[in-house]
Amino acid sequence: MPTIIIGLLATAFGLWGLAAWWWSVVEMLRGLLPLLLLGFGLLALASGVSSVRKAPVSKKDELL
């Protein structure tokens, strides 16, 4: 029961803070979004490179 009350209080204060400092939240998101895109892009690139390295080589590809 105390966990539910603490969760409700945290949610209420979070929503209040979001409404009170909306423009600060927007500025933070504008700065954080390019960093997240860069991180996810590098992760996808590394995943793609590792999957190409692990791909089996067929006989037809060896001749070329």
Q: What is the pLDDT of residue 43?
A: 94
Confidence (pTM): 0.56
Q: How far apart are CA 25 and CA 19, in angstroms?
A: 9
Residue whose entry in the numeric block shows the structure tokens 């690139």: 45
Element (H, E) at 10: helix 2-20
**Which residues constitute the domain of residue 34?**
22-49
Residue whose entry in the numeric block shows the structure tokens 């070329």: 64
Residue whose entry in the numeric block shows the structure tokens 């500025």: 27
Phi, psi of 10 (to 5 degrees): -65, -40
Residue 10 lies in a domain: no
Please state the domain count of the chain. 1
Q: What is the pLDDT of residue 52?
A: 78
Q: How far apart are CA 20 and CA 24, in angstroms?
A: 9
Q: What is the pLDDT of residue 26?
A: 93
Residue 37 lies in a domain: yes
Reported as a single tens digit per residue, the pLDDT across 19-60 is 999 999 999 999 999 999 999 999 999 998 887 777 666 666
